[in-house]
Amino acid sequence: MLLKKWTKALGMMIAMTVAPAAVASSPSKLNCPAGTVQKGGSDATHDTTACVRLGDGKPHGPMVFFYPNGAKQGEGQAENGFRTGLWTLYDEKGNKTGTAMFKGGNFHGEVVELYPNGKVRKVEQYVNGLREGTVKEFSEDGRLVKQTEYRNNRAVAAK
């Protein structure tokens, strides 16, 4: 369920460009790579701060998404307009809700969801956006409660 929320919230970034009208001052300075500028903000009219390329306006470098209340929703890197590498996700109160690895805008690698107490709720493995390998689900006290094996995004065995 949380994974669907992340996908919906961060999915808007896929091949997204930041329009020139979206320029605002941001409360935090991003370390933008050469050939990019920081655009966006966390105010009422902006939900993203990103480094964008000067030529095509595609996000390239650090990127931060915000909730309407201004709290950080997620942060990570973009490459050529797509999420890449490790992203960290938060709830509206600023609590870390998980991490996800991306490649070319798709989940690729480990995705970890956390309970509000910070303990691991679920660990999934992805290859190019498809579940592949073992998905482990845990109780709030840390006990393994379910384990499902996936191949090409289909469950093939469960314990």
Domains along the chain with CATH numbers: 2-20+67-158 (2.20.110.10)
**With contact defined as beta carbons under 8 Å apart, do 134 and 155 qualify?**
no
pTM: 0.82
Residue pLDDT, tens place only, 115-132? 999 999 999 999 999 999
Beta strands, E only, 33-95: 36-40, 48-53, 59-66, 72-79, 82-90
Q: Is the pLDDT reported for residue 98 higher than 50?
A: yes
Q: What confidence score (pLDDT) does residue 24 get? A: 36
